[in-house]
Chain A
Amino acid sequence: MEKHVMQYQTVHFNLNGRAVERTVDVRASLTDMLRNDFRITSVKKGCEVGECGACNVLIDGEAFNSCIYLAVWAEGKRIRTLEGLLGPNGELSDIQQAFVDEAAIQCGFCTPGFILTAVEILESGREYTDAELRKLLSGHLCRCTGYENILRAVKKTMYRRLGKTVD
């Protein structure tokens, strides 16, 4: 077996609005770094191959599965996790609150990933049809909810942000 030459690299990036740096093993995934070095518990491991969406984070505003993203690629990036959505006193953001209100949370394991994709959707400022929302959210698997209440939560928050009446 060929021996791995230990390689470390210092990565500088913005995590939830704060400039951070860490020296990481170049073999680490972004999931590894966020969970192990920053103890970010909202980033979950469900498949580790980019199929379930539980490890989703926002990088420069776009959703990525952090399990198949090398930690060193975070250099210079702006990374947001669910923790970054909370207010200074622990207040839930509107989309988090909508997940609570619509009973869109059951076991909770897919929840953080879904909410971050919802943030990307909502920040586009656009209005989407149900079919479009389903497609935009389709990179996440959930086994508890049948997706139904997740759709309701995202849709209601979208309408609220657009200043439209919620049905």
Chain B
Amino acid sequence: MYDMKALYQAQSVSDAVALRQTHPEAHIIAGGSDVLVQMREGKRAGVELISIYGLDELRGVSLEEDGTIRIGSLTSFSHITRDPIIQQYINVLGEAVDQVGGPQIRNIGTIGGNTCNGVTSADSASTLHAYDAIVELTGPDGVRRQPISEFYIRAGKVDIREGELQTAILIPKESYADTFGHYIKYAMRNAMDIATLGTSVNVRLSADKKTVERVRVAFGVAGPVPLRAKTAEALAAGKPVSMELTEAFSQAVKEDINPRDSWRAAKDFRLHIAVESARRAFIESVKLAGGEL
């Protein structure tokens, strides 16, 4: 039994927006794998909840006319991993969310919840950053779209305004076309764990596979929010594929990341793992793209 003050079950997105306006103090609950746990801990005890879990219109992955991949915010991790569109165009995202918790968590957990709770360790977040995902929010004034890097304000805080709810994650075609990516979740065990560090790399190689046209690398738990290592990205762009480049690229990630010391892991350890993970994820991405190293 959860200590909640009231539960409002939204019947549609517009109903959810209306409930948000009527009950501004209420918390949104999607799959509940974070919200309910925090209620039990006492952190959110006694709050009002707006449940959007029943909104099937927010489930599923589709390809829009301009090639944008649209992921409904309530799409569960397991459904993202199994989705043919994801597998064809942005398989690394499916692989990343396939490492969240365990199977039952991947059945209840949603990509919307994973991004809206604003935690840096979210397994989807680094890949979404590495693909410059767009967050779609629906509110009283209609739809608002925002780059994911701006959506995260600080640890645990995202830019959801009064009356709004997140309705989709969008990946523009320009961002994912001809890219190949690899995600490394560094954790203390192989299942049921949160990332000590999450590293997502994707590359686009030249037609002859000899040159890095574009590379993106993003980390979770390398700062208070997920972040890109743009110095490393700039360093590698346009350079010939080589082990020297791999080394330089992976060392350069240290320029932009700022992990902290915590009981879960020390800063110097996280920095060390970040460099090694960047190196391995880069190599794997290049290989997936058909390059040779």
Residues of A bordering B, CB below 8 Å: 1-5, 7, 25-29, 32, 48-51, 53, 56, 62-65, 68-70, 72-73, 75, 117, 135-141
The SS class assigned to the B binding surface is mixed
Q: Are A140 and B7 in contact (CB under 8 A)?
A: no
> From residue A129, how far is it (CB to closest CB) to chain B in Å?
15
The reply to whether A50 and B40 contact each other, CB–CB distance below 8 Å, is no
In Å, the complex CA distance between A28 and B4 comes to 10
| Contact between chains at B46 and A2 (CB < 8 Å) | yes
**How big is chain B's contact interface, by range?**
20 to 34
Give A64 to B6 CA distance when docked, in angstroms.
24
Q: CB distance B37 to A68 under 8 Å?
A: yes
B1 and A27 form a contact (CB under 8 A) = yes
Residue on B nearest A59 in the bound complex, by CB? B107
Whether A72 pairs with B5 at a CB distance below 8 angstroms is: no
Shortest Cβ distance from A52 into B: residue: B192
Please tell me if the beta carbons of A139 and B105 are within 8 angstroms of each other in the complex: yes
Q: Which residues of A contact B53 (CB under 8 A)?
A: 70, 73
Cα distance A134–B124 in the bound complex, in angstroms: 22
Give the docked Cα–Cα distance between A50 and B7 (Å).
21
Which among B1, B7, B36, B103 has the highest number of chain A CB atoms within 10 Å?
B103
Query: Given that A63-B107, A70-B32 are contacting pairs, would A139 and B4 also be in contact in the complex, using a CB cutoff of 8 Å?
Result: no
Closest 5 A-B residue pairs measured CB to CB? A139-B102, A138-B191, A26-B7, A139-B103, A139-B104
Q: Complex Cα distance A32/B40, Å?
A: 14
B64 on the A face (CB < 8 A): no
Residues of B contacting A73 in the complex (Cβ-Cβ under 8 angstroms): 51, 53-54
Contact of A135 among B9, B33, B191 (CB under 8 A): B191
